[in-house]
Structure 1
Amino acid sequence: MVQLGRADTDESLVSRDDVYGLLSNHRRRYALHAIKQNDGPTELSNLAEQVAAWENGKVVHEVTSTERHRVYTSMQQTHLPALERAGVITHDNGTITLTEQATDLDVYLDVVPGNSIPWAEYYLGLSAVALALVAAVWVGVFPEWIPKLAWATLISLLFLGSAAYHVYQNRSMRLGEADRPPEVRE
């Protein structure tokens, strides 16, 4: 269970399925991304315009009134009420504000870029390489003049560098961290 508030019930726990359902729609993900980019409350009209721009691959000033209206209507009638029921936002007279519970959603958005391998597979491969290196040092494949501590340092640096890059990439893929949502970046 995930600790998210519910505006319409006394329950404070939302099932994992509910969270995935909440994030299953790209407009809700885009909306969360846009709201997180602002330091404070966001106006529904500005939000609809930004989401319409991302959906249509345009800059904001090129969005037509039809595109903006279509997003505005679905946000107002469907998506914002769903986010508010989950306790992720508050919506009052066209002004949307994130709640503290919105940060709990980031863990469900581990985006793996299309040209990348999943991190679990990467670390499995890195561990296999490290184990092979340790075995090679143990049986004396490498020259004696290279200290064994140098190999341990090399392995540690490989894992440290990989972990640092992993943290950097995960932070850059969070909603609200970049100009555009992770799934629309090129």
Structure 2
Amino acid sequence: MIRGSSSRDVRRTDGEPTIETVFELLANRQRRYALHCLSGSRGPLSVTDLARRIERRDPRDSASSRMERKTALRHCHLPKLRAANVVDYDPDTGQVRPRSELTRLEPFLELARAEE
């Protein structure tokens, strides 16, 4: 059952993310790569380290876009992932840590990975 009727609801009443939230989180390639990197992480990562890991996963992006990638992570992708409760992100320290809820996205991440 879906909680509320707002399109901004990110969780169902059973705690699972809504399908709309899952698709929104996975719609962006950089965000998918961030989720891939974080799902394999055992501890916190800095935004810089996360950007480097994304760069290694995606050779289509040039090193010259590293600053743009970090900016997009800080101001767009990580806040969105934090709002969906799949990461803990502290903008003051620049640290991001996967939450246990990220495991609920892993089947969808695997499907996306197979298509990329």
TM-score interval (norm. to shorter): 0.7 to 0.9
TM-score by length of 2: 0.74
Does the CA contact (< 8 Å) of 2:51 and 2:70 recur in 1? Answer: yes
| Structure 2 CA distance for aligned equivalents of residues 94 and 183 of structure 1 | 31
Give the AA of the match of 2:58. Answer: E
- Report deviation, 1:35: 1.6
Q: Secondary structure at the match of 1:97?
A: strand
Structure 1 runs (4+) greater than 4 angstroms displaced: 181-184
Count residues in correspondence.
Answer: 105
Does the CA contact (< 8 Å) of 2:31 and 2:77 recur in 1? Answer: yes
- Report deviation, 1:39: 1.5
| Structure 2 CA distance for aligned equivalents of residues 91 and 110 of structure 1 | 23
Counterpart selection for 1:30 from 33, 36, 49: 33
1:142 maps to none
Does the CA contact (< 8 Å) of 2:32 and 2:109 recur in 1? Answer: no
2:74 maps to 76
| Structure 2 CA distance for aligned equivalents of residues 36 and 28 of structure 1 | 12
In structure 2, the gaps of 5 or more residues are: 3-10
Distance 1:75 1:183, change over 3 A: farther
Q: Secondary structure at the match of 1:109?
A: helix
2:51 maps to 48
2:108 maps to 108
| Structure 2 CA distance for aligned equivalents of residues 14 and 36 of structure 1 | 16
